[in-house]
Amino acid sequence: MNEAKDCPFCGNEAVRLEGKDLGYDYPLYGCVQPDCPCAEMPFAPLEEWNDRPIEDALNARIAELEAAQRWIPVSERLPKEETQVDLWCYEYGAKKFRAIGYIINGKWVIVGIEDQLLVSIVFISWRYPIALPEES
């Protein structure tokens, strides 16, 4: 992909100048918004304009944190045995509910729910680490 990123300061679309008019054999990119600090800076080649190491590192870290907080369908994979996880489940004929549970010897254990009740519960997805349920 060879697309210019938006301005790192104001977020406006980058302006492309044909470099040949300025003595370059490649296009240059910059921002022309009058109130933007970037407007004072010289236009730059695409690679330089798009080079945002801090922004890229932050975006990578955000993606990593979001992936860690993702709800994982039980059909995709199960949590490690004996690791407490956040759960979305439902009981036949009832609505979905949040719970905290873990798997031991291949069987689900839900904190605060007796074993015989587990028979009617369908496990939908889980995530780790446990996050407090949102207030409803």
Contact positions toward Zn ion, by CB under 5 A? 7, 9-10, 31, 33, 36, 38
Residue closer to Zn ion by CB (options 17, 78) is: 17
End-to-end C-alpha distance for the chain, whole angstroms: 43
Nearest approach, Cβ of residue 26 and Zn ion (Å):
21
Written as one string, the DSSP assignment of the chain is --PPPPPTTT-PPPEEE-GGGGT-SS-EEE---TT-GGGGSPPEEHHHHH--HHHHHHHHHHHHHHHHTPPEETTT-PPPTT--EEEEEEETTS-EEEEEEEEETTEEEETT--HHHHTTEEEEEEESS--PPPP-
Residue closer to Zn ion by CB (options 7, 110) is: 7
Nearest approach, Cβ of residue 41 and Zn ion (Å):
9
Nearest approach, Cβ of residue 35 and Zn ion (Å):
8
Residue closer to Zn ion by CB (options 9, 88) is: 9
Nearest approach, Cβ of residue 100 and Zn ion (Å):
47
Residue 31 near residue 14 (C-beta atoms within 8 A): yes
Residue closer to Zn ion by CB (options 5, 127) is: 5
